[in-house]
Structure 1
């Protein structure tokens, strides 16, 4: 039996999975991401944890196909990260360092690209070779898969869908420093912003005036027939749907997978995004399907494992 590890490095925890090369997840666990001192402990901690798992499962090095790693930053095909927002790393030769620490073959990718690969391999995009995944969380992440391989690009920034400009008139800056990015409207924080702007516009009655406004509260109110919540979701759907129509005309996916915390709203979310997509779709993209991601938090470890295979 041959095995591989999938490692998903996040700002708070590192998720890890032990897989067979056929795609069976045998075990999963996580450790704390120690970001202090420039994140110097992260890779040694991972190497130690993987070694302990091999000893626990009595797996020999000869049985290992390698380690795939997802990192929350642009990553070059050489496995080098130039900078990270929340790991403490500046320039980091992730592939080289982890290979030296473990004695195993290592492949590294951007976390959103890797999650997309996971959904293509074992999740909502199973059986598809051309796919776009959008993750709607605190920000908006994206992964583009063409002919079964993630689009990495010249600077490791392929698939950064959250930073497509969708509003030329925006005056507030996105976290990236530019203005009018998709992330400012379609992320969980973006939906809250749209909601607050709508609620301030007039006194129209809404459940959203009663408690704390969150993306979940907006979709819950929509499900109760709240008219104001519907206006907010319609606006969110237009931003995301129109952006996806622009992406589709370039990469022509058979399926667009929507994941991340906001996707927990369920099928109702797809209705508004698909409607807006259809308003703008190029005729050749008319067969593009929208589906919800199915792997949840396991998408990263699954895609990381697929990366090494």
Structure 2
């Protein structure tokens, strides 16, 4: 049975999973993200290969702009200091003797949802991951839309929603992720003078009008983001994942109401099937799909 290693690199933790060809997770573990990142990553990948010598190849999903052909990090924000410019594929293939493929983490999550999860069977899919930032992945006629000359294709979090708005980590103002993400929610709550965490906000919105107003502002902006993406891609379905989606049952009705006047055509919206596992499954698919 073919086995591959899927690695999901985030700003605070790295998840690793040994994955079978049918998507079964045979073993998984998590370690904190440590800087400098590359030698630390190599150390843990080699440890996993010692644990399971039958691993044939390695897929890596990572925060940042990625050149998937070269397997190189084009740009990563200060979330991962020193990661920009790292030739991950080249170095890790030399160190392990295995084939290595590298992709943006949100793109990897989109692959997992399209192959095994909530978007299975659909040809055109947009996945939005609402976590610390806003990640995006696009499946176009069954293929991942990624790469570009600067590794920036499908960076949906960095489309501008509000010109001259809140400054983003990318240096520009008004990006989607400054209004539609976990970080954006915390800022909105603070600006409203409310004492809630994001999960508490959605629960309190049932009875607290000030909390409800914050939620409505968030879902209104998310609706505009989805509407703009529909105008560009006319997708079959939108999958919403990331930490904010864990409370989707409390805000989905508000989003659907906000979508009605702005959508060009009816559109199916679903919550991601894989939460924690999307990253490692998608990373594994980078090498499983190409075998």
Q: State the TM-score, normalizing by the size of structure 2.
A: 0.91
Whether contact under 8 Å (1:8, 1:71) holds in the other structure is yes
Number of residue pairs matched by the alignment: 284
Moved over 6 A (4+): none
Structure 1 gaps, min length 5: 200-207
Equivalents in 2 of 1:269, 1:114: separation in Å? Answer: 26
Other structure's SS at 2:168 match: coil
Which residues of 2 match residues 83-232 of structure 1 at below 5 A?
83-85=75-77, 86-87=79-80, 88-154=82-148, 155-170=150-165, 172-199=166-193, 208=194, 212-223=195-206, 225-232=207-214
Other structure's SS at 2:75 match: coil
Return closer, same or farther for 1:292/1:95 CA change in 2, 3 Å cut-off.
same
Give the helix-richer structure, 1 or 2.
1
Structure 2 gaps, min length 5: none
Q: Which moved more, 1:130-139 or 1:190-199?
A: 190-199
Question: Do residues 235 (structure 1) and 199 (structure 2) align?
Answer: no
Equivalents in 1 of 2:99, 2:83: separation in Å? Answer: 22
Return closer, same or farther for 1:290/1:30 CA change in 2, 3 Å cut-off.
same
Q: Which moved more, 1:16-25 or 1:268-277?
A: 268-277
Whether contact under 8 Å (1:257, 1:291) holds in the other structure is yes
Return closer, same or farther for 1:90/1:167 CA change in 2, 3 Å cut-off.
closer
Which residues of 2 match residues 30-45 of structure 1 at below 5 A?
30-36=30-36, 39-45=37-43
Equivalents in 2 of 1:129, 1:248: separation in Å? Answer: 14
Other structure's SS at 1:296 match: coil
Q: Deviations over 1:185-243 (max 9, x none)?
A: 211221232233344xxxxxxxx4xxx332112101013x2222221111111111111
Equivalent in the alignment of 2:285: 306
- For the aligned residue pairs, the C-alpha RMSD in angstroms reads 1.8
Whether contact under 8 Å (1:47, 1:101) holds in the other structure is no
Equivalents in 2 of 1:129, 1:27: separation in Å? Answer: 30
Equivalent in the alignment of 1:205: none
Equivalent in the alignment of 1:273: 255
Equivalents in 2 of 1:135, 1:99: separation in Å? Answer: 29
Q: Which moved more, 1:83-92 or 1:117-126?
A: 83-92
Equivalents in 2 of 1:97, 1:300: separation in Å? Answer: 21
Kindly name which structure, 1 or 2, has the bigger radius of gyration based on alpha carbons. 1
Whether contact under 8 Å (1:43, 1:98) holds in the other structure is no
